[in-house]
């Protein structure tokens, strides 16, 4: 009898938990929800994971990253921010979220989201190119001192019309090209190293260049901007890549920096969001968490 | 000739057995060697009980993620277990043969769907649905709901196999004593299959706690203590996969140490499973 009671209790518990499991689903079928905690105006901040290149560029440009009293840079992105580790998830979340705000590289923009104006400037390639769109970062390459003939030739190719078309096709913003490139029969080896954000476009450039100059062997090593600059300083590579400005401390060590393309960061919201644009200050406040309601910026 | 072949195959089988042992050993060794130094540098207590995770500021506390994993797993079990168990009972004892031929492969299919597809299903369907209840949609509850669906095939197939393994004489005996079909199934067959069902539960917990991709996509991943069903949460696995791509030095070590904690969780679970089966055998 005791056993039977115990078993009945177990079954009852199972059924009870089933009911508990179902309860919220029932709730969801009633659309009214007058006293639900979140109203659609509450901003859902979406950020990338700590360490992401897009995130570090974004927080630096927007002022979310501030130096604290001791002079170390602190990323003040609110802990309430939803964290995604890929551009596609950021896009998918914003597409589905009426109150969401996120940021992606301009090259990854898609139709399902709306890119906000920043300081009244539209997020377009032209505005990045002429410098009026503020959320933009340069893709730099750096060399040290005298470079080999083939390296010089490769850089000439990158900056030429052909090279810039490739940068544009890869989704980035081209810079003003310096004429057409003609193969001059270069040969030898070039080692390129640095930023993982620049690597994809560099691989494309390499492919196109090697097709024109079969005798040149280019090796692209992917790491990060700082490693790329250090390698260039130490002479481990011929060309270093950085997805940020080359720092003064690095230039002092003898590096020559050249911008090879620009990348804009678009601030994106749901297409039905009525906010046309934000100021840098508002973007900062939203991502730091001091502005939490869309009504405050409408 | 025959003998040589026999011996050759025995060697081969032993070699295969060793391969999995070596793999487990290497993983243990890797986790310990690369996780422990970071763990010691941060301090085990500060690491396990710290409530702030800000790697770039040198704060490595994974308590929010531990609690997140526990909550999400418990919630998934609370929702998925009753459904899975009752489905298993239905499949094993109530289901007509023709329906079983349709349902059984479908349950198998549920297990075969890649977790990233579950994740996109979560973003596209569950997140907007949960948003109707409140919050932003990417929440602990969404993760629980998605995981509840994902553990179903594990719970169902293991429990069903356990139920089918119960000798028919149990069921027939109960009928002979005057019990109805339902009563016989729920009070005789189900208790007799207890250990198998428990194994299904433990495997389900293992699946839920280890699931990464789908959870990352719907949970919101805020690295702070769980704040309620409709607020976001970050699990241990999410923490690792979110930041592994860019992490260096101590940050990387801390992520591997997170893996170590997760590994210990799973070890304890397996131990639990082993002790359950051992008790049953006795």
Of chain B, the end-to-end C-alpha distance in Å amounts to: 44
Instruction: Inspect the interface and report whether the beta carbons of B79 and A38 lie closer than 8 Å.
Output: no
Altogether, the residues listed in chain A come to a count of 298
* Nearest CA-CA distance, residue B83 and chain A, Å: 7
* Strands A188-195 and A239-242, sheet pairing: parallel
Instruction: Inspect the interface and report whether the beta carbons of B130 and A28 lie closer than 8 Å.
Output: yes
Nearest chain B alpha carbon to A32? B132
> Which residues in chain A have their CB less than 8 angstroms from residue B201's CB?
none
List the structure tokens of B155: 């719970």
* Nearest CA-CA distance, residue A198 and chain B, Å: 15
Query: Quick one: average pLDDT of B198-221?
Result: 90
Out of B55, B187, B242, whose CB is closest to A4?
B187
Long-range contacts of A5-13 (CB under 8 A, 24+ apart): A7/B186, A7/B187, A7/B191, A11/B186
More confident residue, B11 or A108: B11
Q: Which pLDDT score, from 0 to 100, does residue A12 have?
A: 53
Across the A/B interface, how many CB contacts are shorter than 8 Å? Answer: 122
How far is it, in rounded angstroms, from Cα B122 to Cα B109? 17
B89-138, pLDDT tens digit by residue?
999 999 899 999 999 999 999 989 999 899 989 988 998 898 888 778 88
HEC-encoded secondary structure of A83-145: EECCHHHHHHHHHHCCCEEEEEEHHHCCCCCEECEECCECCCHHHHHCCCCCCEEEEEEEEEC
Angle between helices A53-62 and A280-288 (to 10 degrees): 120
Instruction: Inspect the interface and report whether the beta carbons of A93 and B127 lie closer than 8 Å.
Output: yes
How far is it, in rounded angstroms, from Cα A31 to Cα A248? 57
Query: Quick one: average pLDDT of B20-43?
Result: 90
| Rounded CA Rg of chain A | 25
Phi, psi of B73 (to 5 degrees): -65, -45
Asked whether the predicted pLDDT for residue B246 surpasses 50, the reply is yes
Which residue is listed with tokens 């080359």?
A: A246
Instruction: Inspect the interface and report whether the beta carbons of B133 and A79 lie closer than 8 Å.
Output: no
Which residue is listed with tokens 């009633």?
A: A30
Query: Quick one: average pLDDT of B36-49?
Result: 89
Asked whether the predicted pLDDT for residue B70 surpasses 50, the reply is yes
How far is it, in rounded angstroms, from Cα A51 to Cα A55? 7
Q: Which pLDDT score, from 0 to 100, does residue A51 have?
A: 67
How far is it, in rounded angstroms, from Cα A174 to Cα A260? 8
Nearest chain A alpha carbon to B56? A50
How far is it, in rounded angstroms, from Cα B51 to Cα B63? 5
Nearest chain A alpha carbon to B231? A80
* Nearest CA-CA distance, residue A60 and chain B, Å: 14
Q: Which pLDDT score, from 0 to 100, does residue A294 have?
A: 87
Out of A31, A38, A53, whose CB is closest to B136?
A38
B53-281: CATH topology is MetI-like fold (1.10.3720)
Query: Quick one: average pLDDT of B46-60?
Result: 86
* Nearest CA-CA distance, residue B188 and chain A, Å: 10
The parts of chain A modelled with pLDDT lower than 50 are 1-2, 4-5, 16, 18-38
Domain ranges of chain B: 53-281
Q: Which pLDDT score, from 0 to 100, does residue B190 have?
A: 92
DSSP bridge partners of A136:
A264
List the structure tokens of A82: 């939803």
Instruction: Inspect the interface and report whether the beta carbons of A38 and B82 lie closer than 8 Å.
Output: no
Longest distance between any two alpha carbons in chain B, whole Å: 73
Mutate which of B83, B84, B116, B221 to disrupt the A interface (most A C-beta within 10 Å)? B221
Q: Is A217 part of the contact surface with chain B (CB cutoff 8 Å)?
A: no
* Strands A65-67 and A73-75, sheet pairing: antiparallel
Smallest CA-to-CA distance from B263 within B75, B8, B36 is with B36
The one-character DSSP state at A247 is P
Out of A50, A74, A82, whose CB is closest to B138?
A82
Q: Which pLDDT score, from 0 to 100, does residue A192 have?
A: 93
- Tell whether ipTM is more than 0.85: no
Instruction: Inspect the interface and report whether the beta carbons of A79 and B251 lie closer than 8 Å.
Output: no
Nearest chain A alpha carbon to B248? A51
Q: Which pLDDT score, from 0 to 100, does residue B236 have?
A: 92
How far is it, in rounded angstroms, from Cα B52 to Cα A13? 36
DSSP bridge partners of A103:
A267
Phi, psi of A133 (to 5 degrees): -85, 120
Per-residue burial over B20-56, b if 16 or more Cβ lie within 10 Å, else e, is: eeeeeeeeeeebeebbeebbeebeeeebeebebbebe
Backbone φ/ψ region at B134: left (φ over 0), alpha (ψ -120 to 50), beta: left
Q: Which pLDDT score, from 0 to 100, does residue A79 have?
A: 83
* Nearest CA-CA distance, residue A100 and chain B, Å: 8
Q: Which pLDDT score, from 0 to 100, does residue B151 have?
A: 94
Q: Which pLDDT score, from 0 to 100, does residue A29 have?
A: 38
Contacts of A221 (CB under 8 A, 6+ apart): A191, A192, A193, A194, A231, A237
Instruction: Inspect the interface and report whether the beta carbons of B138 and A37 lie closer than 8 Å.
Output: no
Angle between helices B249-281 and B194-210 (to 10 degrees): 180
Nearest chain B alpha carbon to A93? B123
Instruction: Inspect the interface and report whether the beta carbons of B123 and A89 lie closer than 8 Å.
Output: yes
The three-class DSSP label of residue A188 is: strand
Confidence of residue B252 (pLDDT cuts 50, 70, 90): confident
List the structure tokens of A104: 């992606």
Instruction: Inspect the interface and report whether the beta carbons of B148 and A21 lie closer than 8 Å.
Output: yes
Asked whether the predicted pLDDT for residue B258 surpasses 80, the reply is yes
DSSP bridge partners of A256:
A143
The three-class DSSP label of residue B62 is: coil
User: Are B276 and B198 within 8 A, CB to CB?
Assistant: yes
Contacts of A179 (CB under 8 A, 6+ apart): A160, A161
Out of A14, A50, A82, whose CB is closest to B220?
A82
Query: In chain A, which among 43-102 make CB contacts under 8 A with chain B?
Result: 44, 49-53, 74-75, 79-85, 89, 92-93, 96-97, 99-100
* Nearest CA-CA distance, residue A227 and chain B, Å: 12
**Arithmetic mean of pLDDT over chain B:** 89
User: Are A243 and A202 within 8 A, CB to CB?
Assistant: no
Cβ neighbours of B124 (radius 10 Å): 13
Cβ neighbours of B217 (radius 10 Å): 30
How far is it, in rounded angstroms, from Cα B77 to Cα A9? 18
* Nearest CA-CA distance, residue A262 and chain B, Å: 22
> Which residues in chain A have their CB less than 8 angstroms from residue B128's CB?
96
């Amino acid at each position: 009898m005791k056993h039977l009671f115990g078993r009945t209790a177990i079954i009852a518990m199972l059924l009870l938990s089933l009911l508990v499991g179902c309860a919220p689903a029932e709730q969801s079928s009633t659309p009214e929800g007058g006293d639900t905690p979140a109203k659609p105006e509450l901003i859902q901040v979406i950020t990338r994971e700590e360490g992401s290149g897009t995130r570090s560029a974004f927080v630096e440009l927007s002022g979310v990253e501030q130096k604290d009293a001791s002079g170390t840079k602190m990323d003040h992105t609110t802990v309430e921010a939803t964290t995604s580790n890929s551009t596609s998830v950021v896009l998918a979340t914003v597409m589905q979220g009426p109150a969401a705000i996120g940021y992606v590289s301009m090259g990854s923009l898609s139709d399902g989201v709306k890119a906000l104006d920043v300081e009244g400037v539209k997020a377009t390639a032209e505005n990045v190119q002429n410098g009026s769109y503020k959320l933009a970062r340069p893709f730099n390459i750096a060399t040290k001192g005298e470079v080999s003939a083939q390296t010089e030739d490769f850089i000439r190719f990158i900056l030429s019309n052909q090279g810039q078309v490739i940068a544009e096709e890869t989704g980035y913003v081209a810079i003003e090209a310096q004429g057409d490139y003609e193969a001059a029969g270069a040969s030898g080896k070039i080692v390129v190293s640095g930023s993982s954000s620049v690597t994809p476009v560099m691989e494309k450039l390499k492919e196109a260049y090697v097709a024109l100059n079969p005798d040149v062997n280019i090796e692209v090593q992917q790491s990060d901007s700082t490693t790329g600059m250090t390698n260039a300083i130490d002479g481990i590579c011929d060309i270093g890549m950085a997805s940020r400005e080359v720092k003064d401390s690095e230039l002092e060590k003898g590096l020559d920096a050249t911008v090879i393309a620009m990348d804009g960061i678009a601030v994106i919201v749901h297409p039905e969001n009525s906010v046309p644009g934000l100021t840098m200050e508002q973007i900062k406040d939203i991502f730091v968490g001091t502005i939490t309601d869309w009504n405050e910026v409408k | 000739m025959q003998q040589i072949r026999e011996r050759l195959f025995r060697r081969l089988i032993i070699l295969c057995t060793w391969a999995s042992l070596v793999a487990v050993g290497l993983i243990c060794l890797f986790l310990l060697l690369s996780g422990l130094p970071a763990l010691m540098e941060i301090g085990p207590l500060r690491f396990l009980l710290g409530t702030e995770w800000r790697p770039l500021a040198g704060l490595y506390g994974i308590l929010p993620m531990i609690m997140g994993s526990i909550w999400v797993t418990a919630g998934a079990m609370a929702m998925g277990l009753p459904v899975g168990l009752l489905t298993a009972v239905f499949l094993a004892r109530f289901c007509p043969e023709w329906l079983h031929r349709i349902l059984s492969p479908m349950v198998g299919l549920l297990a075969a769907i890649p977790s990233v597809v579950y994740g996109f299903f979560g973003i596209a369907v569950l997140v907007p649905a949960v948003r109707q209840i409140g919050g932003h949609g990417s929440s602990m509850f969404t993760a629980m709901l998605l995981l509840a669906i994902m553990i179903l095939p594990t719970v169902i197939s293991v429990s069903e196999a356990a139920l089918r393994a119960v000798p028919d004489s149990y069921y027939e005996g109960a009928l002979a004593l005057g019990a109805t079909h339902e009563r016989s199934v729920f009070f005789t067959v189900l208790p007799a299959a207890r250990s198998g069902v428990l194994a299904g539960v433990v495997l389900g917990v293992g699946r839920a706690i280890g699931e990464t991709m789908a959870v990352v996509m719907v949970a919101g991943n805020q690295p702070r203590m769980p704040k309620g069903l409709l607020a976001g949460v970050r699990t241990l696995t999410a923490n690792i996969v979110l930041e592994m791509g860019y992490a260096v030095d101590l940050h990387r070590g801390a992520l591997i140490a997170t893996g170590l904690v997760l590994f210990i969780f799973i070890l304890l679970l397996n131990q639990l499973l082993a002790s359950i089966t051992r008790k049953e055998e006795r």
